[in-house]
Structure 1
Amino acid sequence: MRILIATDAWAPQVNGVVQTLSQVVNRLITQGHEVRVIHPGLFKTIPCPTYPEIRLAVWPFGRLRRELREFKPQAVHIVTEGPIGLGMRLLARYAGLPFTTAYHTQFPEYVKARSGIPIRFTAALLRWFHKPSRAVMVPTQSVIDTLKSRGLNNCVLWQRGVDLKRFNPDKSPVSKHLSYSPCELASDDPQQVELLQRLNACSVEKPVFLYAGRVAVEKNLEAFLSLELPGEKWIAGDGPARKALEKQFPEARWFGMLNHAALSEIYKRADVFVFPSLTDTFGLVLLEAMASGCPVAAFPVNGPLDVVGQSGAGVLDWNLKNAALSALQIDRERPRQHASTFTWENCASQFQGYLAPIVYSAGTVRQLTGHKQPLQD
C-alpha cells in the first residue's frame, strides 16, 4: 500500500508525536508498505511563535499537490493541524480524496494556557479541521470523550507503545565499565556514558523524583518543582520555559535534553516519575518510565487516567505531593509489567486498520493536475 503522511512535526523535533510517527513508519516499511512523509524539512520554513525550535512550512500547496499527483497514494493520513496538515486537508477535500487525521495535542488547552483564548474558539477550529476525516485517531478514551463532548463523533482509539528493549530495569552494559573513554567502544552511546559518569561522580540524596519531557508552560512544571519533597528533583528535557524555571528552582538538577540511551539510565536511577501536566493527550514518557520500573505520580486527568489508571503502577491524586510520596511504596516490578501491555506493533496495526482506501477517478486526476489553489473548503 502507498501511504502518504502529512505532518508538521518531524525530526529534528523531539516529542511524542515525532516518536510515535517514526515508530509507525518504520514498522509499516518493514511490512512492505511504501510510505512517503511530507514534513517541514522539505519546505522553506519560519520559526513557530513562542516555539522557535519548531519550524513551520511556508505555503506548502504546490509541493503537496505534486506529491499527491506523482505518488498517487492509496491512503492519506494527516498528523497535525499546522500549515502542512491544513494544506493537505484542503487539497484532499478539493480533490474528493478520503483521509484520516490524528489528534495528538490538546490544542485548545495549550492555547488557553499560553494566551488566555477561551477553549470554545480553538475547539471550534479543531472541529472544522477534523470533521471530514474518516477517522480521527486519538490516543486515549478519555480524550475521545472530551472530543465527543465538543461535537466530534468520528474518533477512534489509537494506542501508543514503548520499546521494552530500550526502556527496562536491567543494568546496562555501559554502567558496568565506565573507566574507558566513550570513543574506545563504538557500540556505547557517548551521552549515556557521560551521564553515568556525571551521576557516579556526584552525591545523590535519595529519593529522586524525576520529570522528563518538554519544559514549557503547558507542562505545569511549577506544580512539581514547588512541592516540598525529601531527596532531589531531577528535570530531563528542554524548552522555552527552562531558563526561567532553572533560575526560579536552582536546587533541582537540570540535565537538559537527553537521547533515549541516556534517558533510559535516568529512569532507572529515579524513584518516582512525577508528571504534573494537565493537558497531555497521552504522555509517552509515562510508559518509558514505567517500563524502566519507575512508578508514576500524576494528577487524575486525561493521559494518566488512561495510561496508569487503576493498574497500581502509579498514584493519581489531586494532591501531587501525596501522590509522589505514596508512589515510593510501589514495587518496581508492577509498573514494568503494566508498561509491557503497550506495544508499537499494536500501535502500527491499529493505524493501518483505520486508514481510508482511495479509489481514483478521472475527475480526481483532473483536480490534482489543475493549478487552482484550494483555499475554500
Structure 2
Amino acid sequence: MTTIPTNRHTDIEWRNESTQKPPKQALFIDRANADMLLQYARNNTAVVWQGDFHNAKQILAALKKRIRKPAAQAPQADIQTAFHRHRLQQAQQSRLINMLAVEIGAGFTLNLPRAPDVSAALADVYGLPNETPFLLPLNQLLGFIGAHEWHKKGVNIPALGGRIHVPFGVFSPLRGEYLELLMQAPLPRHYRTAFDIGTGSGVLAALLARRGVSTVIGTDTNPRAINCAEANLTRLGLSQQVRIEHTDLFPAGCADLIVCNPPWLPAKPTSAIEAALYDPDHAMLKSFLNGVAAHLNPGGEAWLVISDLAEHLHLRHADFLQQCFQTASLTVIDVLHTKPVHQKAAAPKDPLSFARNQETTHLYRLKPKK
C-alpha cells in the first residue's frame, strides 16, 4: 500500500492501476481550473476534487484537451522509434491526467455533489469494500464505471450463442476476427482434449467446447481473469466441459489441441490490463512455442493466434516467427488469416494508422517435427 501526504496533515492511501509512481503530495480543493491543475500536475502534486462531480468531469475534459496534442504521422524511415515515442507520450500524458483525483470513502462511497453510486463499479475492480478512505484518479474511476457497464452488458459472441462478460482488468474479445479464425480452423473429430493457454475471459476455451472438445483446461495467472472465465463458463453452461487453473502456461499432462493467443507486441506493459497486449521480448510467445510439443498428445496440434502488427511497427523481423518455429522444432501445417475490422484499423487520426491498416491476424496450425 502506498500512502502520500496531504494538506490535511495526514497521509492517505493512493491507488492507481498503472505502474506510475505516486505523486509526492495531494491537495484537497473544491475550486480550480484546468490550467491550475496542469501546473500542480507538472509539479508532481495531485489535486483531490471536493466540489461538484460533474464540474470535475468538465475540468478533466479540459485538462485532457490541453495535454493531448495531435501526433504527427510517424515517418516511415524510423517506424520503431515512432512507436516508442508514441508509447512514451501516452505514458506522460496519462501521468498528468491521473493527477486529478477523488477521495473514495469507506464502503466505496463518493461523497461529492451529484456523484453517482460507484460502489458496484469499484467492487468489480477491488472486491470487498474498503474500511478506510483512499485516493483514486478521476479518469480511472470513470474507466471503472464504463467497464462496469460493459461488464453487465457483455459482448455478444454469435458462435457461442451468448455473451462474454468482462470486468475491468481482463482483455475483452471485442476484436471478433481472431475468434472467427478459431471457428474456421479444421478440428479433427478425434480431438477430445484441449488446453487454452492464457485464457483471459475464457472465450477461446468456450468456443472449443462449443466445437465439441469434451475436456478443455484454460490457464491464467491473473486472478481477475480466472474469476471472469469461471463466471462466463458457468453462465454459458460449459463449466462441466471446461476447467480453469491458476497456472503459468501449461497445466499438467498432455492434450490433443493446445491454443494460445499471446500478447501481440513486444513492449513493456504500463498497467495490468496492458499485459494482454504487450509482452517484453515476446517472452510468453517463446515460452509457449518452446514448451508446447512436450504437452501434445501424439498427432496433436498447437494453434497460435497472433497479429503481424509488430512487423509493421518494425518491432520484430518478418522471419521472426519462422525462426521461433524452427527453434522449437515445430512445423507449420496451415495458416489461416484475416484482416482486422476494429475501429482503429480505419482511423486516419490514429498515430499508428500507417501500421494498423496493413495488419493481418493469423492462426498458425503447428505440429512437432518428427
| TM-score of the pair, normalised by structure 1 | 0.29
Structure with the larger strand share: 2
Structure having greater relative contact order (Cα 8 Å, sep ≥ 6): 1
| TM-score of the pair, normalised by structure 2 | 0.30
